[in-house]
Each structure stands twice: as structure tokens, then as C-alpha cells.
């Protein structure tokens, strides 16, 4: 593959590492973990994996000899710059432990594990993708691992390749799948570790141990740059209002972070709307009042940030959506009624 001078220079970049990972390391077990809520219920669902200790890395004294280990990796969900470097880091880490270690990538997301589609990631392959964006090294997918048959099919190929650890790089759904998979393999004593790596544009995988996830970091920086450009344009022309819809169907972290970086005139936070039980009318009045106040000051321009999932957080709309879902659920009388219509006109008349 022919690469440009820029790509060649970018490939030589060495990501910064914390001091504890720059040389020999040792693992230190900390206190046992627990969920922030519903501890008893979750422990019943995950009896073999609940309450595992926190593991921290510290600089070690002398390099130890470890046996070779085979590791599998899966990219799940939407792409984000950083995925290739996570895989590169896994490759470098296991090769540093033992040069005979191998890394296998499952193609097209979790479906590759079930369908036994994989490729060995060698140094030649890894070096072509260092410091590059996208998930194209092995591809991604959104197959959900929810059935016992899927777990067993995955176990077949993991045993065949002698894989002892499986890394799933993805968001909240993907990491939930990783938890279920880890519990199943632990219950069967299969000797396969399942590790989840947080990757999400929504920024909803966060705790004391996760400062931020890649995906979210990239999205907010790119969005903030574009929002800043629009704000500069609005302030220059002084005659337009820009209403910008941001990603964030189930959380407003992107909207909040972009607002902190760009200081727009209006920012709607879905969770705040839900907490205050605001109606659509109240939201419109709030925005209209700001537009009117700025107009009174001769400022007929501005920027408003709106999360894409706002409507689902408005209590009255949330209730409406729930009722519609019940009415249109499979097997309901309403569904049968809609199916009985011979044309769209009958359906519109019924509604």
C-alpha cells in the first residue's frame, strides 16, 4: 500500500504512556468493586463475576518471564479515532510480554466471533494502521451477543485458536454483552477472560476509573470547532439564528461539553428538562424569551444547541411514545386493525 509522507510521519508518532507502563509493570489488587445501585439484584445475575477487585498497574522491579498468550479483539458499534491504537497497544503489550504471543481480530464486530471469521494481526498489518482513524483494520458491527448458542459458537473458535483473553471495544451495549459473555464463560470454567474497553460517542461510560472515553473526546472537539465557526459567522453577519442539533439520543453529555467549550446563547439539556418536568410549550417559551431579549438589545442573531434525543425526555412526549408503543406492539388489537387496511387512505381516516 502506497502511503503519503504525512501518513508515514504520523505512523512514527509514539503515544504518551503513564510512567507505570513505560517499563516493567506489576499488577496490584485493590478493594472489591460493587455496582452503584441494585447490588443484590446484579449480584444474582452475575454470581461469578460480581465484586471483582480493582486492578492497578505499578512499575515493577525486574522483568519477569511469562508464557505466550493468544488474545482476540473485537470492534463493536460506531467507529472512532483511537480504535486502531487500542489494538496496536494490545499487540505491543502481549509481544513485550512474550514475542510468541498472537493477536487475532474478529471481522465485522461480534458477528465475526459467532461466524468464526477472523484474521491474525501481525506486525506488518498493525504498522499500517498505527495512529490512523476508523475501524477498518478488522471492521465493526452491531451484532448483539444475547443467546447461549452464540456464546457456545464463540467458545468453539476461542478454544480452537487457544485464545485466553477476548477484548471487546465498544459502548454501553457492547460492554453489557461483554459482561454477560464473561459471566457465561466463568460459569462454565472455560478459562477465557473477557475485557471491555470503553468506546462511546455519548460519553455515558464514565466513573472514577474512566476519565473519558475515546469517541466522545473526538466528537466534542470536532463539534466544538464547527460550532465555534458558526458562532463566528453569526457574530459577523449579525442577522441569523443557528439551531444546531447534536448527537446524544439517550444522554446530553456531548451538548454539555460543547456548551462548556463554545459558550452558545442557548443550550438545552435533556436530563434537566426531564428533572424539571418541562413541557414542549415551556421549552419553546424559554428559547423564544432569549431570542426576544437579544432582539430588544439589537442582537438579532445567536446559536442554540439541542440534543437529538430531547423529545424523548419531555414527560408528556415520553408518555405519548410509551402509549404508542403499547398500541402498536406486535399482537395488539391496534396492530391487527392497521394490517386490515387495504390502503393508506383508510389508515389516515382511522387515525
Give pLDDT tens digits for 81-119: 899 999 999 999 999 989 999 999 999 999 999 999 999
For residue 212, name the pLDDT band (cuts at 50, 70, 90). confident
Q: Are 5-200 and 217-313 in the same CATH fold? A: yes
Say how many C-beta atoms besides its own lie within 10 A of residue 343's C-beta. Answer: 8
Mark whether 202 is an active-site residue. Answer: yes
| Assigned CATH for 217-313 | 3.40.50.460
Higher-confidence residue of 212 and 231: namely: 231
Catalytic residue among 61, 92, 115, 202: 202
How far is residue 76 from each of residues 58, 125, 217, 247, measured CA to CA in Å? Answer: 30, 20, 18, 18
Average pLDDT, the chain: 91
Contact 185, 151 (CB under 8 A): yes
Q: Which CATH class is domain 5-200?
A: alpha beta
> Mean pLDDT throughout 171-190?
94
Query: What pLDDT is attached to residue 150?
Result: 97
- CA-CA distance, 166 to 74, in Å (whole number)? 8
Residue 306 CA, distance from chain mean position? 20
Query: What pLDDT is attached to residue 209?
Result: 84
Residue 351 pLDDT exceeds 70:
no
Higher-confidence residue of 323 and 182: namely: 182
> Mean pLDDT throughout 249-275?
95
Candidates 167, 163, 150; CA nearest to 114 is 150
In percent, how much of the chain has pLDDT > 90?
A: 68
Query: What pLDDT is attached to residue 343?
Result: 76
258 is written with which cell numbers?
A: 460543547
Hey, where are the domains in the chain?
5-200, 217-313, 316-350
| Helices 148-160, 172-187: crossing angle, 10 deg rounding | 70
Contact 42, 176 (CB under 8 A): no
Query: What pLDDT is attached to residue 334?
Result: 65
> Mean pLDDT throughout 297-304?
98
How far is residue 141 from each of residues 16, 65, 92, 210, 297, measured CA to CA in Å? Answer: 29, 36, 25, 24, 51
Query: What pLDDT is attached to residue 7?
Result: 87
Say how many C-beta atoms besides its own lie within 10 A of residue 297's C-beta. Answer: 7
Contact 248, 254 (CB under 8 A): yes
Strand runs (DSSP E) across the chain, as ranges? Answer: 25-32, 53-59, 70-75, 102-106, 118-120, 163-170, 193-200, 214-215, 241-246, 266-267, 302-307
Query: What pLDDT is attached to residue 350?
Result: 66
- CA-CA distance, 166 to 247, in Å (whole number)? 30
Candidates 176, 181, 149, 148; CA nearest to 72 is 181
Amino acid at each position: 500500500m502506497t502511503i503519503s509522507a504525512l501518513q508515514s510521519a504520523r505512523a512514527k508518532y509514539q503515544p504518551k504512556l503513564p510512567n507505570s507502563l513505560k517499563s516493567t509493570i506489576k499488577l496490584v489488587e485493590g478493594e472489591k468493586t460493587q455496582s452503584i445501585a441494585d447490588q443484590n439484584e446484579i449480584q444474582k445475575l452475575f454470581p461469578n463475576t460480581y465484586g471483582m477487585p480493582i486492578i492497578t498497574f505499578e512499575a515493577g522491579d525486574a522483568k519477569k518471564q511469562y508464557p505466550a498468550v493468544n488474545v482476540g479483539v473485537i470492534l463493536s458499534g460506531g467507529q472512532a479515532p483511537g480504535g486502531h491504537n487500542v489494538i496496536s497497544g494490545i499487540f505491543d503489550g502481549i509481544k513485550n510480554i512474550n514475542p510468541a504471543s498472537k493477536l487475532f481480530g474478529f471481522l465485522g464486530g461480534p458477528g465475526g466471533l459467532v461466524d468464526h471469521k477472523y484474521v491474525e494481526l501481525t506486525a506488518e498489518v498493525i504498522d499500517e494502521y498505527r495512529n490512523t482513524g476508523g475501524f477498518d483494520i478488522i471492521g465493526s458491527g452491531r451484532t448483539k451477543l444475547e443467546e447461549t448458542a452464540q456464546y457456545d459458537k464463540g467458545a468453539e473458535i476461542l478454544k480452537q485458536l487457544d485464545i485466553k483473553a477476548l477484548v471487546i471495544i465498544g459502548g454501553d451495549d457492547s460492554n453489557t454483552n461483554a459482561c454477560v459473555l464473561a459471566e457465561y464463560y466463568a460459569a462454565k470454567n472455560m478459562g477465557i477472560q473477557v475485557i471491555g474497553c470503553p468506546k462511546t460517542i455519548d460519553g455515558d461510560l464514565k466513573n472514577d476509573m474512566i476519565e473519558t472515553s475515546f469517541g466522545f473526546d473526538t466528537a466534542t472537539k470536532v463539534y466544538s470547532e464547527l460550532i465555534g465557526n458558526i458562532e463566528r459567522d453569526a457574530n459577523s453577519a449579525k442577522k441569523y439564528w443557528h439551531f444546531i442539533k447534536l448527537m446524544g439520543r439517550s444522554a446530553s453529555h456531548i451538548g454539555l461539553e460543547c456548551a462548556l467549550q463554545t459558550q452558545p446563547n442557548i443550550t438545552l439539556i435533556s436530563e434537566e428538562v426531564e428533572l424539571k418536568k418541562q413541557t414542549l410549550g415551556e421549552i419553546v417559551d424559554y428559547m423564544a424569551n432569549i431570542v426576544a431579549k437579544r432582539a430588544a438589545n439589537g442582537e438579532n442573531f445567536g446559536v442554540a444547541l439541542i440534543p437529538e434525543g430531547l423529545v424523548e425526555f419531555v414527560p408528556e412526549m415520553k408518555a405519548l411514545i410509551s402509549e404508542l408503543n403499547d398500541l402498536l406492539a406486535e399482537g395488539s388489537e391496534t396492530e391487527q386493525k392497521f394490517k386490515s387496511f387495504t390502503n393508506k387512505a383508510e389508515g389516515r381516516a382511522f387515525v
